[in-house]
Homo-oligomer: A and B are copies of this chain.
Amino acid sequence: MTSRTDKKSQRRADPLTRERIAEAAVELLDTAGERGLTFPALSEHLSTGPGAIYWHVSDKRDLLGAATEAVIGTALPAQPAPSPQAQPQREQVHAVALALYDAIEAHPWLSTQLAAQLSRNPWGPVTARIFEGISRQVIALNVPAHSWFTATSALMHYILGAAAQNAANAASARELGPEVNRASFFESVSQAWQELDPHTYPSTRAVASHLSDHDDREQFLAGVDLILAGFAATYPSAAERTVAQPPRRPDNS
């Protein structure tokens, strides 16, 4: 494990690299949250000085980018060949969606960073990896070429937005105490919504009263299916690919 220059006076056990720094940053972000990632804290974690970090990373944005890249890289591994048609199409879409969903739930800070990458760096590796994962499905779904971008966008924005929302809910629920399950969290949000002014917020109140204690992942996938149904309905060529499956309940009831 130690390097070949195994003298007693080697500078450090293992030298700093952008990757090691990214890992440490992820750890800090997961542990202490977005506010917990500071150069002083990270320096101490790596037992070095802030200057050393700046040698490998250009600034804090770059540091956060490296952390994001590290997580996305393992959550959405590069798949060279358009994956074989082993799974039915719908399940492949679900797999990509859930990979992102789980990554964001495990690292709540990720949702902010992904949004930042999307907007700041649409040609960066993070954006490309996500876009690739989703557009591959869209193409396989026989969406016509002129609509690839629209369809991918719709799916991607829903996935990232809903996953972020779920992660935030999970974090809020966690704050209410580890013993409280999701049910009581939804209960409390539902209740807060019910207390809105009936005159200005009639529909929100109505929706709140129908917020069943659903399974979050099922709910998330129901949204994905809703958009897939939109593809099938809008592009006849895409229809057989998704609709030919055994008809699945599109939502909880």
Q: Are A196 and B151 CB-contacts (below 8 A) given A135-B204, A233-B229? A: no
Interface of A is mostly: helix
Q: Which of A95-131 contact B (CB under 8 A)?
A: 111-112, 115, 118-120, 122-123, 128, 131
One of B210, B223, B234 near A153 (C-beta < 8 A)? B223
Residues of B within 8 A of A11 (CB): none
Most interface-central of A82, A148, A164 (chain B CB within 10 A): A148
Residues of B within 8 A of A85 (CB): none
Residues of B within 8 A of A154 (CB): 158, 162, 223, 226-227
Q: Are A203 and B82 CB-contacts (below 8 A) given A158-B157, A223-B154? A: yes
**Which segment of A2-10, A13-21, A139-147 sits at the interface?**
A139-147
A227 vs chain B, min Cβ distance (A): 5
User: With A and B bound together, what is the CA distance between A120 and B207 in angstroms?
Assistant: 20
User: With A and B bound together, what is the CA distance between A202 and B154 in angstroms?
Assistant: 20
Contact A226–B219 (Cβ < 8 Å): no
User: With A and B bound together, what is the CA distance between A230 and B233 in angstroms?
Assistant: 7
Q: Is A80 an interface residue (CB 8 A)?
A: yes
Contact B253–A146 (Cβ < 8 Å): yes
Other A-B contacts than A128-B193, A153-B162, A226-B234, 16 sampled, CB-CB below 8 A, are: A115-B115, A118-B164, A118-B165, A119-B167, A132-B201, A136-B202, A148-B206, A150-B226, A153-B223, A157-B158, A157-B160, A225-B234, A227-B227, A229-B230, A229-B234, A233-B233
Contact B210–A146 (Cβ < 8 Å): yes
Q: Is A68 an interface residue (CB 8 A)?
A: no
User: With A and B bound together, what is the CA distance between A115 and B168 in angstroms?
Assistant: 10
Contact A223–B132 (Cβ < 8 Å): no
